[in-house]
Chain A
Amino acid sequence: MRPLAWVALCWLAIGTGSALAAGRSVSYSTWVVSGNLITMRLRLPVSEARRLVGVAVPVLTTDRLKEYVLDHVTVSSAGGSCPAIDQGYDLGRVDPLAVGPDLYGFELLFRCADPAQLVLHDTVLFANVPDHLNFARIRIHDQVIEQLFSSGQQQLALPDTGAPAAAGLSAYLRVGLLHVLDSLDCWCVLLAALLLVRRWSDVGGMVLALAGGYLLSLALSATGWVLPRLNAVEACLGLLVALLGAMLALRAGRYRMVGVLGWGGLLVLLAILCMFRHAPWGAPLLLGGALLFAGVMLVADRTTAMPWWVFIGLFALLDGVLMSAVLPPAQLPPRSFEEVMLGFDGGAWLIESLLVAGMATALLLVRTQRLAMLRSLLENVSAAALSAVGTFWLASRLWG
């Protein structure tokens, strides 16, 4: 019983710790280098600025944020630190800009005594949100390149001639890869996927489902016809985890109809609640989830196969669109936008596929009696835990 209690405690800690942690943390900056003058414009989503309240900023006002930005964006050169200059009127050294709804905008001008060996420093938010990303566009010597500031790269040295290398596909692949490793939602889905694997063909199906989902997210992002509702996507990730847990629990076939009716009823009830509370978009999402779950379980009931890959594909689609949803304020040119998305989705797909394929292969190869018993125990505990954690995430993200 003691190991089971520890497993349950771990799940509880995981579930409550990331109730609202599925979204991407990004900001956007533009740097224009003109001789010894560097103009920097920062766009910070209001939701990201709120993360600073109580930590780096006592109360969220433009003045407080100006002070914070002034402290966390600097430029240095061979001549030493380049001070932010006073912009005249009553603006001071940081000029607040109108950059659209839900965004704070600031402009700073740095003047360097010696424009050689310029280094741009950006530490905004990294201390508070380690996986924060700043999409930077840098114009220097009549060339424009895209770069990334992250907790691992908080400064960028500029060459004295020409432009620095752009971030490139590899940087975005790395972002996608690290994102999967940092995301508890991903780990939960991958765990469920791993436990659902029974045959070699399942591994291939899973990799294909992930690829299909990410490709679909690329296609959706490229058209630009629709935008995801971030709250809904985060809630849906919780729903997927819960439904994958339920599928694991009901896979054996016993009490399958009871489970389908129970889950369907619960989701319909939550949909009704959504209609009366402040999340009306949740109603179609939950009803859709109920139908999807019922459909998958009915297919499993009438055939020998359980089409769980639908859920895996949907997860990949949602994971992909979460990044595309936060990119528009970066105002990237279409080619750069596609590069970012391709890198991110590719990185995520690659690591997820490798993890699932590697671990599933190991499980399928080592089929001992002892391992089978352990797997059965792990399946039962995980099924219950995934259902509980997923339901908690769903509810907290719907009404959090």
Chain B
Amino acid sequence: MNLRHPLLLPVAAIIVGLALAGVGLFRAAPLPLAAVPPGYVALVNQKGLLMSDFIAQTQVETSRSFAESTPAERSKVLREMIDEELLVQRALVLDLPETTNEVRGSLVSAVNAQVAAPILAYVPSDAELRAYYEKYRQNYTGPGSMNLHDLVLHIGGFENADQSPTQALADATEAVYQLRSGASLTYVMEHFGFVNSGRMDDTEQLDFAVKLHLGDKLYKTAAQMRDGEVSDPIPDTDGMHILVMVRHEFPKVVDFSAVRDRVYLDFRAAASSRVTQENLNLLRSQAQVLLAPGQSE
């Protein structure tokens, strides 16, 4: 062979060029999987079921180690896994993620859980928890309580048909003046015609119960009142109310040691929420979102 032949180099270049181009142009044809590859327990429509998943599932269902499970138990578990895979594949063919709210909700939860998993695996130190507690200490208050009287001067009933709202307000203002001046509750009620509204039972109740019984309007005033204080007249649907606070225990921030578990849970929830939002921000930055005319988000 003459290595100095003038055509040797160009012909070699052509052959190598064709071979290189062939590498880019073609790929080996994938062989259909006729046997289950190592590490898998079964193939369902060419999709593999992992042996590790099979072992874990068997242990969960039998509450024993895989080695201790019987062939019948393993067969049952494998059948269930194949059934599940078939149904999942069918769900994808039916495009359920696109059309079914429950499936969409599950997918969203699964993605969020996957994103948050590394964060949730991290165990925060006490110092980090305490710093979080200090930052959000207003969230860690114990419930307050109060004992109060709720008097009402009804307007427009058959027994007080002549009472107008203006007159009732004047009477209530006078009653408040007298109560603040030291008149007894019984005297004021008899003199001006006030009655117990029945919303409170004159016992000490937790804040949330008071709010439930009094309603938002009266509770808003009660929440600001101190021991022995008498409220201004408050018009409500059933007449003119006067609140007389007997004792008010305001909510207090609870010590860190008492709420450590709550702080821990809140810390994790906040971290999870943060990474979920970051993931969404990333997805949005990579997505193309078009809104119909007139729509906004």
Contacts and interface: CB of A to CB of B under 8 A. Distances in A.
Interface of A: 61-63, 96-98, 105, 220, 224-229, 232-233, 236, 281-299, 302-303, 307, 310, 314, 318
Q: Which 7 A-B pairs have the closest CB atoms?
A: A285-B24, A288-B21, A288-B20, A291-B17, A295-B13, A292-B17, A298-B10
A302 B6 CA distance: 7
Contacts of B24: 229, 232, 236, 281-286, 288
Nearest to B19: A288
A292 B16 CA distance: 8
- SS class of chain A's interface: helix, strand, loop or mixed? helix
Contacts of A226: 26-29
A293 B14 CA distance: 7
B99 A291 contact: no
A174 B102 CA distance: 51
Contacts of B6: 302
Contacts of A288: 16-24
A292 B263 CA distance: 69
B212 interface: no
Contacts of A61: 95, 98-99
A62 B20 contact: no
A295 B10 CA distance: 4
Given A285-B25, A288-B23, A292-B18, 13 more contacts: A62-B94, A62-B98, A96-B94, A229-B26, A233-B25, A289-B21, A291-B16, A291-B20, A295-B9, A295-B12, A295-B17, A298-B13, A302-B6
B287 interface: no
A285 B27 contact: no
B14 A96 contact: no
Contact of B10 (A63, A227, A282, A299): A299
A318 B25 CA distance: 9
B11 interface: yes
Interface core residue of B7, B10, B95 (most chain A CB under 10 Å): B10
A305 to B, nearest CB: 10
B89 to A, nearest CB: 6
Contact of B95 (A96, A97, A289, A290): A96
- SS class of chain B's interface: helix, strand, loop or mixed? helix
25 contacts: A62-B94, A98-B92, A224-B29, A225-B28, A226-B27, A227-B28, A227-B29, A228-B25, A228-B27, A229-B25, A285-B23, A285-B24, A286-B24, A288-B17, A288-B19, A288-B22, A289-B21, A291-B14, A291-B20, A292-B13, A292-B21, A296-B10, A297-B10, A298-B10, A299-B14
A297 B89 CA distance: 55
B99 A63 contact: yes
Contacts, number: 116
B166 interface: no
A229 B22 CA distance: 10
Nearest to B5: A302
Interface in B60-119: 89-90, 92-95, 98-99
A289 B16 CA distance: 10
Interface in B1-49: 6-7, 9-30, 45
Interface core residue of B11, B15, B16, B22 (most chain A CB under 10 Å): B22
B143 to A, nearest CB: 50
Contact of B21 (A220, A236, A296, A297): A236
Given A62-B94, A62-B98, A284-B20, A295 B25 contact: no
A24 to B, nearest CB: 16
Contacts of B22: 288
A294 B26 contact: no
A298 B92 CA distance: 56
A98 to B, nearest CB: 5
A314 B24 CA distance: 14
A284 B16 CA distance: 11
A285 B21 contact: yes
Nearest to B96: A62
A138 B238 CA distance: 82
A105 to B, nearest CB: 8
Contact of A287 (B7, B20, B29): B20
A224 B31 CA distance: 10
Given A284-B20, A292-B21, A228 B14 contact: no
B25 A232 contact: yes
A62 B95 contact: yes
Contacts of A236: 21, 24-25
A131 B12 CA distance: 40
A344 to B, nearest CB: 19
A215 B70 CA distance: 59
A289 B14 CA distance: 9
A311 to B, nearest CB: 10
Contacts of A296: 10, 14
Nearest to B29: A227
A180 to B, nearest CB: 21
A226 B28 CA distance: 4
A286 B20 CA distance: 8
Contact of A302 (B7, B20, B26): B7
